[in-house]
């Protein structure tokens, strides 16, 4: 029995499906909960946007990976347009979601400042413009991913969807995009901003100017960024390892081990996208109240609908 059959397939099916189900419903709950809250709050609209693109990322990336690796259903092998589209959407939605979290961290930094001129940088209209710029930037940035993604012949006489076919772009993707843009830069940025926020918050606590709702938002973003760092570190380091060793000779058993680790690390990279609802629910009492109200409204609506149907049928 190969490592793929013994380890990869069961792991991807069990863990991948669990992640997807939690993330699919969790992000939907996030979206509706944020819509029912103060959507004019810059941090909330950033978390709302992040949840929307996390949902897209799960549908485009995680679900298709589970179907391909776990069940052998992979349309990217036969449909070049879908091969290009999946690559483009997956890369774009992931970094849009991550960048919104980073900007939400910046928004918390603005609000934690003592000087009014810095707190004014946290503004709803400014945030809307920033979100639009973030989306447009990553849409344009990832156009080469769509153009260069193509079918490449694999060892078993079939085709796989691959963005590494062009040697120059492969070097850029392996040595810069994956380890630097998708891993190191976000981690360093989050850590630096987090240190600055901690210093500012310490001063605000002394002056008793820290509102409860704002503390809850900071807690939500802080806990999520911690999980982003935890999931990104192995992904970034393993991407750098694959880049460094990509052109050397590798025996078959080593390729099998690397393929298993690649799938495991890739699935775990979806953690913060899949469990953001639970992260927010645990870290924020305000979010818990809003989520409970949303569940109550859903149950009430469902009960009223059943009552109306029962009444109409009896008549």
The pLDDT tens digits for 224-279 are: 888 888 888 888 788 778 777 777 777 888 888 888 888 888 898 999 899 988 98
Nearest to 218 by CA among 122, 283, 145: 283
Higher pLDDT, 228 or 302: 228
Domain range annotation of the chain: 3-284
Confidence (pLDDT) at 178: 84
Dihedral angle sign, alpha carbons of residues 84, 145, 186, 180 = positive
Quote the tokens at residue 14: 């069990």
Confidence (pLDDT) at 132: 96
Confidence (pLDDT) at 154: 66
Confidence (pLDDT) at 18: 95
Confidence (pLDDT) at 204: 61
In angstroms and rounded to an integer, the radius of gyration of the C-alpha atoms of the chain is: 22
Q: How far apart are CA 192 and CA 210, in angstroms?
A: 21
Confidence (pLDDT) at 230: 85
> Phi and psi of 165, rounded to 5°?
-60, -40
Largest distance between two CA atoms of the chain: 77
Highest-confidence segment of 49-53, 111-115, 214-218: 49-53
Confidence (pLDDT) at 169: 83
Which DSSP helix (H) or strand (E) runs through 287? helix 285-314
What integer best gives the mean pLDDT of the chain? 83
Q: Are 64 and 86 in contact (CB under 8 A)?
A: yes
Q: How far apart are CA 229 and CA 222, in angstroms?
A: 11
Q: Give domain 3-284's CATH number out of 1.20.80.30, 2.40.50.1020, 1.20.1070.10, 3.10.20.30.
A: 1.20.1070.10
Q: Is the pTM of this model over 0.85?
A: yes
Residue 308 has pLDDT above 60, yes or no: no
């Amino acid at each position: 029995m190969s490592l793929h059959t013994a380890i990869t397939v069961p792991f991807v099916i069990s863990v991948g499906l669990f992640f997807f189900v939690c993330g699919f419903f969790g992000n939907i709950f996030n979206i509706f909960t944020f819509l029912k809250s103060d959507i004019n709050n810059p941090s909330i609209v950033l978390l709302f946007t992040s949840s929307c693109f996390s949902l897209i990322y799960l549908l485009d990336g995680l679900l298709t990976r589970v179907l391909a690796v776990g069940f052998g259903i992979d349309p990217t092998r036969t449909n070049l347009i879908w091969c290009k589209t999946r690559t483009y959407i997956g890369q774009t939605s992931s970094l849009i979601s991550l960048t919104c979290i980073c900007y939400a961290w910046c928004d918390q930094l603005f609000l934690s400042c003592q000087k009014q001129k810095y707190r004014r940088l946290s503004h709803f209209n400014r945030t809307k413009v920033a979100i639009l710029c973030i989306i447009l930037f990553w849409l344009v940035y990832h156009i080469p991913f769509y153009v260069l993604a193509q079918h490449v012949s694999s060892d078993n006489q079939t085709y796989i969807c691959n963005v590494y076919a062009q040697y120059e772009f492969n070097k850029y993707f392996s040595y810069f995009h994956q380890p630097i843009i998708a891993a190191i830069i976000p981690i360093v940025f989050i850590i630096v901003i987090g240190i600055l926020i901690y210093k500012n918050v310490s001063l605000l606590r002394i002056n008793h100017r820290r509102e409860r709702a704002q503390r809850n938002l900071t807690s939500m973003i802080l806990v999520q960024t911690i999980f982003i760092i935890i999931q990104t570190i192995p992904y970034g380091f393993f991407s750098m390892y694959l880049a460094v060793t990509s052109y050397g000779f590798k025996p078959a058993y080593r390729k099998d081990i690397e393929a298993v680790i690649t799938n495991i690390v890739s699935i775990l990279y979806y953690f913060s996208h899949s469990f953001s609802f639970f992260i927010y629910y645990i870290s924020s009492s305000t979010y818990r109240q809003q989520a409970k109200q949303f569940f109550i409204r859903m149950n009430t609506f469902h009960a009223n609908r059943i009552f109306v149907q029962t009444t109409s049928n009896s008549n």
